[in-house]
Chains A and B, each alone.
Chain A
Amino acid sequence: MRRTSPRSTTPSLKTMNHQESQRPEKVNPLEMRDLGFIESGNNDGLDDNHDQDELADSSQSRQAVDESDSSEDEVAPRNTIGDVPLEWYKDEKHIGYDIAGKKIKKKERQDKLDSFLASADDSKNWRKIYDEYNDEEVELTKEETKLIRRLLKGKAPHAEFDPYAPYVDWFKWDDAKHPLSNAPEPKRRFIPSKWESKKVVEYVRAIRKGLIKFDKPKEEPRLYLLWGDDSSSADRTKHLAYIPPPKPKLPGHEESYNPSLEYLPTQEEINTYQLMYEEDRPKFIPKRFTSFRSIPAYENAIKDSFERCLDLYLCPRVRKKRINIDPESLKPKLPSRKDLRPYPVTCYLEYRGHEGAVLSISVEPSGQWIASGSKDGTVRIWEVETGRCLRVWELGEAVQHVAWNPLLELPILAVSVGSDVLILNTGFGNEEQQRKAKELLQIGTPTSSDDSDDISSVLSWLQDEKHDCIRLRHFRTVSSIEWHRKGDYLSTVMPAGESRAILIHQLSKKLTQRLPFKHHGLPVSSVFHPTRSIFFVATKKNVRVYDLLRQKLIKKLETQLREVSSIAVHPAGDNVIVGSKEGKLCWFDMDLSSKPYKTLKCHPKDITNVAFHRSYPLFASCSDDCTAYVFHGMVYADLNQNPLIVPLEILRGHTSSDGRGVIDCKFHPRQPWLFTAGADSSIKLYCH
């Protein structure tokens, strides 16, 4: 609405010029009308400081403003043919088309004479203009003639237009961030202001003369509230963490000096208070006083307030941040036990016959027989399937360890009795196998005397006539025997044997050699690697791994246990489990590190033995707490994947005797079955 006249008139002027160029003496009447409207709008704009006028004007100028807003095209001429040469329609009966598409007929043309006469008669003839485009005569008004006249003089067409109007600066210069001009910074900006320095000098003089006085620095209060809170009350309420102290309990009716009768305890009740424990006794016994005067001083006043202070001081009023973590989500994701079947679960068979604790069992490599050695001095062989005892050897001394030869075709059994190791012929196998076994168990010439080293003094190969076997006489008690996988070598461990604690015997040549390494610590057990010529020696603290071919130490596994009791090697050879006397089971991944990969603390008492299954991914540990644990121990061929260990089952059934529980456990070589030997002189078979 506040349109300034020069802007809004420009388009009209332009068209006017354009049309003038065509027909200089003619003005489009529509545009003239337009101009007229703008005039009135213009008045309005110029006097816009007079609000009343504006309001009055606005009603009459509304339409005009509406029209003046739009361009000239909107006031449609009658003809719609557009800016085309009019001679195209010279020979037609119509001059063009109206907005509805109907032909506009040419008017009847007067002949020249008539028209001349008419024009001569008409006094207003000079005002009339023929509009060829719309084919009509237009009479110019007075204003329009004036306007044309002004145009001819080269002035602004409107008489009201003031070309020298005062300049109005519409732009707000104050907080413009960027300069509107790229003029260089004036010099005055870089030199110190003269006026400012004058002002400073003025102030300095005033201060010197004492005309200007400064405020004194505020004094810190020397006293502080001893019992007041550190934070102001406003501070407290602001923070969510602040918890107001609990209010002390308000006194009730019973604490009144003159309580109602029902609050007063009877004498009997007071007497019963004396029988109560001191903690249960009521702290306050209501009493009745006849007057205020007779109320004594409350003797616990100081104590109570002190306790209240202690409560406030010692009991931290802190909002606890509780982290809501589902404890289940912290557990490692283990596969379900159902998916890990088969594994030994229930005991169906029991092998009874021993009269003392069964110290060791060994399963024949085909899985048809098991041998057991007991504290009662017997070695027995049982049929696995039926539980029938087939053979008994009376050896007269507690049998520490029994071990079947790992070769199927060599049915012999190594047995350690005290300081002797007996190699027994079991009598199984066909005639050919028997013949070979018998041959092997004959000592032809005393070969042991040939090598004159220190071994002969501590060990002798003897022929035992009574049991028809070989007797290897050691100089100390033999605790464990282990066969090499090829069935020719066997190693014996004498924990008290010092430098000759571990001996390796060769059965075919009847030779014995010392382990060519320096011994560290007390040896407990020894195992051969299942595929390579590697030898594991478990001492009380550590496990040492030796390469027998290159004769050097490969690795030392640090168990971090107090006392190692047993060791077993995974059939692939890269993983070792070690059981300890404190009930811990360590799994070592030899490729990973010399530290345990996992330590399982499951048994409350000593672990007596650990075992791996030969083909199923199972391992077991047995303990003096009369249980045996079965675990799933999957070793992956992919080196990036760590072994998966899942506890599966606790096998119970043995009873404790002499503080010992399950002493030995061995897996069946082909079935997922576990044999356990107990101190209760029974052997149990747990099947899947």
Chain B
Amino acid sequence: MSLEQFLLAKGISAEKILEIEYIRAVAPRKEEEPSPHDDWVSAVDGSSPRFILTGCCDGLGRVWKEAGLCTHILEGHSDAISSVSIINSEALGSVTVATASKDRTLRLWKFDAEDSNDHPAMIRAFKILRGHNASVHSVAAKTSGDMVCSGSWDCTINLWRTNDSDTDGDVVSIKKRKVNSKAEQSQSEGEAVSMLVGHTQCVSSVVWPQHETIYSASWDHSVRQWDVETGKDLSNIFCGKVLNCIDVGGEGSALIAAGGSDPILRIWDPRKPGTSAPVFQFSSHSSWISACKWHDRSSFHLLSSSYDGKVMLWDLRTAWPLSVLDTHKDKVLCADWWKGDSVVSGGVDAQLRICSDISIP
């Protein structure tokens, strides 16, 4: 609708002074080639600008340098990968990543992000973290990179050290294994450093945004904030719906965004005293929300993906999505920002899709 039409429709005289507020359109201008997987893409992490890490339901993790270019394949899980997390990406040589899987283990992997071959290199985990009694649902790395936490279907959150086996004290056994081709790699097993107990149902998502705080969302309808040092939960936001994803960011890196078993994306401000009502609610999706992520530079922008096959970009200042990406043919299981101007998402159609050239101020 043009301005003239608007004035006519509302019966406003052209003499009148109108105040026009606008939000800059945020929409991807480029749609990259889809990167095919063998099975459902269940997890994606785009926190490193150099590569994208995806987890797949066939139990393999993949590293993508760009759209359609797979550099590494992380092999070892016996069941579907449910979550991936990049632990330290700044290190020049090797990059450490963690994957969580339905086979009740987490695995830590190391690879060199720079080398690129024509064929993707197969990599085995250097450390297997055992301790969960049920499938692990989510993994998140500490910002400093020396610890990861994981949420599992057995209602617990476990904290693990990511240090190499030689410096780590609590290594139980070190197995030397011949890997069929070239390198002889040591594969160590790690045990949980501590366990955060409090959730009564499956912990579906964890984030570790600050040094000493972990946020977790669970199927028992609550969002909890944990103090890593004491292992106690500091606050408890009750939602009423099953929660599937959580992210912390936005203004002051304090807003909690969570989505779950209903089409509403909720955002809480835990700094607001005495209330557990969400400060924002976005309800343009039509099915469960599978992922939500804050933009790491802008404090207003976040994305959400849903089982209705759409990824939506949101601005906190508007009630409607800035743009809807519906390139997926089926449920979208995971989505993340990449390089600050792209959205990567994976879903049931076994494709990793990258929408780039999003101008975010």
Please list the residues of chain A having a beta carbon within 8 angstroms of any beta carbon in chain B: 342, 348-349, 366-368, 385-388, 430, 670-671, 673, 687-688
CA distance A687 to B153 in the complex (A): 19
CA distance A208 to B288 in the complex (A): 118
Contact with A along B86-100 (1 / 0, CB 8 A): 000000000000000
**Listed A/B pairs (19) with beta-carbon separation below 8 Å:** A342-B240, A349-B287, A349-B307, A366-B134, A367-B219, A368-B134, A368-B135, A368-B202, A386-B40, A386-B331, A387-B331, A388-B40, A388-B57, A388-B80, A670-B201, A671-B242, A673-B261, A688-B241, A688-B262
CA distance A367 to B201 in the complex (A): 10
The answer to whether A430 touches B261 (Cβ under 8 A) is: no
> Which B residues are in CB contact (< 8 Å) with A387?
331
- On chain B, the number of residues with a Cβ less than 8 Å from chain A's Cβ atoms is 26
> Which A residues are in CB contact (< 8 Å) with B139?
none
Separation in Å of the B64 CB from the closest CB of chain A?
Answer: 22
Task: Let me know if B301 is at the binding interface, CB within 8 A.
Answer: no
> Which B residues are in CB contact (< 8 Å) with A385?
204, 244
Known: A368-B135, A386-B348. 9 other contacts (CB 8 A): A348-B261, A348-B262, A349-B288, A366-B134, A386-B333, A388-B40, A670-B219, A687-B262, A688-B262
Label chain B's interface by main secondary structure. Answer: loop
Please list the residues of chain B having a beta carbon within 8 angstroms of any beta carbon in chain A: 40, 42, 57, 80, 104, 133-135, 153, 201-202, 204, 219, 240-242, 244, 261-263, 287-288, 307, 331, 333, 348
Residue in contact with B133 in the complex, picked from A348, A430, A688, CB distance below 8 Å: A430
CA distance A368 to B240 in the complex (A): 19
Separation in Å of the A264 CB from the closest CB of chain B?
Answer: 62
> Which B residues are in CB contact (< 8 Å) with A688?
241, 261-262
> Which B residues are in CB contact (< 8 Å) with A342?
240
The answer to whether B287 touches A348 (Cβ under 8 A) is: yes
CA distance A133 to B59 in the complex (A): 141
Separation in Å of the A675 CB from the closest CB of chain B?
Answer: 14
Nearest-neighbor residue (CB-CB) of A670 within chain B: B201
Separation in Å of the B285 CB from the closest CB of chain A?
Answer: 10
> Which A residues are in CB contact (< 8 Å) with B287?
348-349
> Which A residues are in CB contact (< 8 Å) with B42?
386
Separation in Å of the A545 CB from the closest CB of chain B?
Answer: 34
> Which A residues are in CB contact (< 8 Å) with B241?
688
CA distance A670 to B348 in the complex (A): 26
The answer to whether B57 touches A368 (Cβ under 8 A) is: no
Residue in contact with A671 in the complex, picked from B134, B219, B288, CB distance below 8 Å: B219
> Which A residues are in CB contact (< 8 Å) with B57?
388
CA distance A184 to B16 in the complex (A): 116
Separation in Å of the A345 CB from the closest CB of chain B?
Answer: 9
Nearest-neighbor residue (CB-CB) of A386 within chain B: B333
CA distance A368 to B348 in the complex (A): 19
Separation in Å of the B264 CB from the closest CB of chain A?
Answer: 12
Separation in Å of the A349 CB from the closest CB of chain B?
Answer: 7
Separation in Å of the B117 CB from the closest CB of chain A?
Answer: 32
The answer to whether B104 touches A430 (Cβ under 8 A) is: yes
Shortest beta-carbon contacts, A-B, top 7? A348-B287, A687-B261, A348-B288, A368-B153, A670-B201, A671-B242, A430-B104
Nearest-neighbor residue (CB-CB) of B153 within chain A: A368
> Which B residues are in CB contact (< 8 Å) with A348?
261-263, 287-288, 307
The answer to whether B153 touches A366 (Cβ under 8 A) is: yes
CA distance A345 to B331 in the complex (A): 21
Chain B CB count within 10 A is highest, among A366, A388, A670, for A388
CA distance A342 to B204 in the complex (A): 20
> Which A residues are in CB contact (< 8 Å) with B80?
388
Separation in Å of the A428 CB from the closest CB of chain B?
Answer: 9
> Which A residues are in CB contact (< 8 Å) with B333?
386
CA distance A368 to B219 in the complex (A): 11
> Which B residues are in CB contact (< 8 Å) with A386?
40, 42, 331, 333, 348
CA distance A366 to B348 in the complex (A): 24
Separation in Å of the B262 CB from the closest CB of chain A?
Answer: 7
CA distance A688 to B242 in the complex (A): 9
> Which A residues are in CB contact (< 8 Å) with B134?
366, 368
CA distance A366 to B80 in the complex (A): 19
> Which A residues are in CB contact (< 8 Å) with B242?
671, 687
Separation in Å of the B334 CB from the closest CB of chain A?
Answer: 11
Separation in Å of the A410 CB from the closest CB of chain B?
Answer: 14
> Which A residues are in CB contact (< 8 Å) with B261?
348, 671, 673, 687-688
CA distance A367 to B153 in the complex (A): 10
CA distance A388 to B57 in the complex (A): 9
Nearest-neighbor residue (CB-CB) of B290 within chain A: A386
CA distance A386 to B288 in the complex (A): 10
CA distance A687 to B261 in the complex (A): 7
CA distance A480 to B316 in the complex (A): 53
CA distance A221 to B133 in the complex (A): 109
Separation in Å of the A534 CB from the closest CB of chain B?
Answer: 30
CA distance A487 to B331 in the complex (A): 36
CA distance A386 to B202 in the complex (A): 14
Nearest-neighbor residue (CB-CB) of B201 within chain A: A670
Separation in Å of the A426 CB from the closest CB of chain B?
Answer: 13
Separation in Å of the A147 CB from the closest CB of chain B?
Answer: 108
> Which A residues are in CB contact (< 8 Å) with B263?
348
Separation in Å of the A350 CB from the closest CB of chain B?
Answer: 10
> Which B residues are in CB contact (< 8 Å) with A367?
201, 219
CA distance A21 to B208 in the complex (A): 127
Separation in Å of the B180 CB from the closest CB of chain A?
Answer: 25
CA distance A430 to B201 in the complex (A): 18
CA distance A528 to B80 in the complex (A): 36
Separation in Å of the A369 CB from the closest CB of chain B?
Answer: 10
CA distance A670 to B153 in the complex (A): 13
CA distance A388 to B263 in the complex (A): 20
CA distance A366 to B134 in the complex (A): 10
> Which A residues are in CB contact (< 8 Å) with B219?
367, 670-671
CA distance A366 to B154 in the complex (A): 9
Nearest-neighbor residue (CB-CB) of B103 within chain A: A430
> Which B residues are in CB contact (< 8 Å) with A671?
219, 242, 261
CA distance A97 to B42 in the complex (A): 126
> Which B residues are in CB contact (< 8 Å) with A673?
261
CA distance A387 to B244 in the complex (A): 14
CA distance A366 to B202 in the complex (A): 9
CA distance A386 to B305 in the complex (A): 13
CA distance A671 to B239 in the complex (A): 13
Chain B CB count within 10 A is highest, among A366, A385, A687, A688, for A385
CA distance A670 to B42 in the complex (A): 24
Nearest-neighbor residue (CB-CB) of B288 within chain A: A348
CA distance A348 to B285 in the complex (A): 11
CA distance A368 to B102 in the complex (A): 11
CA distance A385 to B153 in the complex (A): 12
CA distance A430 to B78 in the complex (A): 12
CA distance A367 to B333 in the complex (A): 20
Chain B CB count within 10 A is highest, among A349, A386, A670, A673, for A386
CA distance A348 to B104 in the complex (A): 27
Separation in Å of the A520 CB from the closest CB of chain B?
Answer: 43
CA distance A671 to B202 in the complex (A): 11
> Which B residues are in CB contact (< 8 Å) with A670?
201, 219
Separation in Å of the B54 CB from the closest CB of chain A?
Answer: 16
> Which B residues are in CB contact (< 8 Å) with A366?
134, 153, 202
Separation in Å of the A564 CB from the closest CB of chain B?
Answer: 34
> Which A residues are in CB contact (< 8 Å) with B104?
430
CA distance A367 to B155 in the complex (A): 13
Chain B CB count within 10 A is highest, among A348, A387, A430, for A348
Nearest-neighbor residue (CB-CB) of B200 within chain A: A670
CA distance A670 to B200 in the complex (A): 10
CA distance A671 to B153 in the complex (A): 14
Separation in Å of the B129 CB from the closest CB of chain A?
Answer: 14
Separation in Å of the B30 CB from the closest CB of chain A?
Answer: 29
Separation in Å of the B10 CB from the closest CB of chain A?
Answer: 36
> Which A residues are in CB contact (< 8 Å) with B288?
348-349, 687
> Which B residues are in CB contact (< 8 Å) with A349?
287-288, 307
CA distance A673 to B262 in the complex (A): 12
CA distance A67 to B219 in the complex (A): 108
